[in-house]
Structure 1
Amino acid sequence: MMTSGMLQRATTPELIALRARKEDARFGVYAEWAGILLIAGVLSRVFMTYVFNACVGDWLRDGHLQLKDLWNVLMYAIPLIFIALSGGLAVAGGVYAILNSLYTKGQMFILKRKMGKLALQASREGADVRP
């Protein structure tokens, strides 16, 4: 079994692809949390709107307008915070996945170029082609 230090030093296309899949697993965490926070934002918006509509008549009759205003602010602020966090995580995860893909493609390009140079040199000298 290869350790993480060995994976960092190894330069074969298979190991580069394996490392890329391992890094892409982190994108799944971002996507899961983005979905969870989006659902939390929608559910809290629906719940708070329902509670506000059920209770606003009593508050207006009792003269507690300060509570109505506070609940009205919270009814919009809390769900929007959840939704904003969800959007931020989705964007961060997407950017992370794109950068990881570009890095992997760059590593593959460099490795193929290096292997091509070594193959050309080996054909001249009859030496081993491994990097």
Structure 2
Amino acid sequence: MNIIFDACIDSWKMDPELNNSIYMWNILIYVIPYALYALAAGFLVTFFLFPMYELIYGNIGIFLLKRRMRRENTLREGSNNASH
């Protein structure tokens, strides 16, 4: 990867004022890959956690909805339950 950056800034090395930009390139050599690794790790965590949350909380929601619908159906059919 250093060869690619050196090829890009070869003409800059001749000018002493632009030599400070080499430090910027050195930082970018390390920052960009780590930023991409962090982004990929975030997507990987989301890829695994989202289906688990959906299974856990989705099934709880469906269970609560079915229970409420059972109560409403029994009330509609004439069973007057005071606990409802």
TM-score, with length taken from structure 2: 0.52
2:5 counterpart residue number? 52
After TM superposition, give the deviation of residue 89 of structure 1 in Å: 2.2
1:82 counterpart residue number? 36
After TM superposition, give the deviation of residue 100 of structure 1 in Å: 0.4
1:34 counterpart residue number? none
Percentage of identical aligned residues: 29
2:82 counterpart residue number? none
After TM superposition, give the deviation of residue 96 of structure 1 in Å: 1.7
2:23 is aligned with 1:69: yes
For the aligned residue pairs, the C-alpha RMSD in angstroms reads 3.4
| Unpaired runs of at least 5, structure 2 | 78-84
TM-score, with length taken from structure 1: 0.37
Q: Which amino acid aligns with 2:53?
A: L
In the alignment of these two chains, the number of paired residues is: 70
Q: Which has the larger radius of gyration?
A: 2
After TM superposition, give the deviation of residue 73 of structure 1 in Å: 0.8
